[in-house]
C-alpha cells in the first residue's frame, strides 16, 4: 500500500522497519536494572498441562517480565510520579514525523554521554514530533546485552534545549535509560523532559532499548509507535519506521 503525503512524498506501508527487540525466555534477551531473565512457563494445574509436547492439547503459558528491564518499551511521565499514570491512556496518536540521528557518546570522566553539541545537526529541522537516537558503535550486541552494572551512556539535560526547541514529543533511544544508571535517584533527564513536577507533560513519551538497523540512514521518516495495552507507566512497544520517497 502506497501513501502520499501533503508535500508529495510517498510511503510504502508494506516496508516498515521494526525497531523493537523481541521478548524471549533465553540468553538472547537483553537485561537491565538487575532483573533476571523473563520466564515463559506452561500452566500446570490439577493434572492439566499447558504444553503440547508434554501431552497437552494447547500451549498455554504464563509470561513473567518487567517492561523497563527486559526490552523495548515506551513509558510516560507515570514512571516518575507518585500516581502511576498509564502510557496506554496517554498515547492516543500513533503516527509521527520523525528524525533519526546517530551520535557517538563522548567520554567525560568514567561516563559516556550524549551532549548538546552532538545534536546540533537537528537545527535544520523546524519541528520534529519524534526523535530517534542511535548510539555508535551500533553493534548487534545491543539486542542481547546485560546492561546491569555497565554504566551505559546517557543524555545530558542540556540536550533539552534543542529537544524543546523542536517540540519533540516522543523520544526513542537504543539505551536502557536516558539517565545515568546510578545517579542516586535524581533522574534529571526524565524529570526535565516531562517537566515534573512543575508542568507535567502528559503528551510526551520515552521509548528505550530499541535497535536501529544499519539500513536506516539518518534523516526524516514516518514513525508508527504502538504499545501493548497495559494500564501501567510503561509497556512493551513496537516502533516501526517508514521511509519517505
What is the structure's pLDDT at 218? 98
pLDDT in tens, 63-107: 999 999 999 999 999 999 999 999 999 999 999 999 999 999 999
- Res. 4: pLDDT tops 70: no
Residue that has been written with the C-alpha cell 504444553 in this structure: 51
Q: Is 29 left (phi over 0), alpha (psi -120 to 50) or beta?
A: beta
- How many of the other CB atoms lie within 10 Å of CB of 67? 23
For residue 1, is pLDDT > 90?
A: no
Q: What is the CA radius of gyration of the chain?
A: 19
Question: What is the reported pTM?
Answer: 0.95
pLDDT at 8: 67
Q: Predicted confidence band at 245 (pLDDT cuts at 50, 70, 90)?
A: confident
Query: Is 231 inside a domain boundary?
Result: yes
Q: Look at residue 95 and tell me if it is in a domain.
A: yes
Rounded CA separation 217/22 (Å): 22
Residue pLDDT, tens place only, 154-173: 999 999 999 999 999 999 99
DSSP conformation class of 164: H
The pLDDT, as a whole number, for residue 93 is 96
Span 123-151, mean pLDDT?
Answer: 97
Residue 78 within a domain: yes
139 assigned to some structural domain: yes
pLDDT tens digit sequence for 181-238: 999 999 999 999 999 999 999 999 999 999 999 999 999 999 999 999 999 999 999 9
CA–CA distance, 60 with 43 (Å, rounded to integer): 6
| The pLDDT value given to residue 5 | 66
Q: State the pLDDT at residue 100.
A: 98
Maximum CA extent, the chain: 64
| Number of separate domains in the chain | 1
- Say if 114 falls within a structural domain: yes
Other Cβ atoms less than 10 A from the Cβ of 123: the count is 10
Q: All 3 cell numbers of residue 245?
A: 520517497
Print the domain residue range for 172. 2-24+67-243
Residue 166 included in any domain: yes
Residue 51 forms part of a structural domain: no
Q: How far apart are CA 71 and CA 74, in angstroms?
A: 10
- Read off the DSSP letter of residue 4: E
Q: Is 158 inside a domain boundary?
A: yes
d(CA 150, CA 181): 8
**What does the mean pLDDT of the chain come to?**
96
For 123-128, what is the mean pLDDT? 96
Q: Residue 32's pLDDT is what? A: 98
CATH number of the structural domain spanning residue 109? 3.50.30.50
Amino acid at each position: 500500500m502506497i501513501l502520499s503525503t501533503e508535500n508529495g512524498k510517498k510511503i510504502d506501508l508494506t516496508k516498515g522497519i521494526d525497531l523493537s527487540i523481541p521478548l524471549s525466555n533465553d540468553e538472547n534477551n537483553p537485561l537491565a536494572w538487575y532483573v533476571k531473565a523473563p520466564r515463559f512457563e506452561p500452566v500446570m494445574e490439577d493434572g492439566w498441562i499447558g504444553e503440547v509436547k508434554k501431552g497437552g492439547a494447547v500451549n498455554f503459558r504464563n509470561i513473567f517480565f518487567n517492561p523497563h528491564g527486559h526490552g523495548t518499551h515506551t513509558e510516560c511521565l507515570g514512571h516518575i510520579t507518585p500516581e502511576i499514570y498509564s502510557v496506554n491512556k496517554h498515547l492516543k496518536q500513533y503516527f509521527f514525523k520523525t528524525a533519526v540521528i546517530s551520535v557517538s557518546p563522548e567520554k567525560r570522566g568514567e561516563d559516556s554521554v550524549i551532549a548538546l553539541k552532538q545534536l546540533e545537526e537537528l537545527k535544520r529541522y523546524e519541528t520534529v514530533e519524534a526523535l530517534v537516537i542511535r548510539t555508535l558503535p551500533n553493534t548487534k550486541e545491543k539486542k542481547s546485552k546485560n546492561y546491569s552494572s555497565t554504566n551505559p551512556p546517557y543524555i545530558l539535560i542540556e540536550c533539552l534545549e534543542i529537544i524543546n526547541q523542536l517540540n519533540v514529543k516522543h523520544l526513542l533511544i537504543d539505551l536502557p535509560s536516558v539517565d545515568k544508571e546510578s545517579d542516586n535517584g535524581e533522574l534529571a533527564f526524565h524529570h526535565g523532559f516531562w517537566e515534573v513536577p512543575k508542568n507535567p507533560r502528559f503528551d510526551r513519551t520515552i521509548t528505550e532499548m530499541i535497535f536501529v538497523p544499519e539500513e536506516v540512514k539518518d534523516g526524516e521518516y514516518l514513525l508508527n509507535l504502538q504499545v501493548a495495552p497495559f494500564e501501567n507507566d510503561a509497556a512493551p512497544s513496537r516502533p516501526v519506521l517508514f521511509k519517505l520517497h
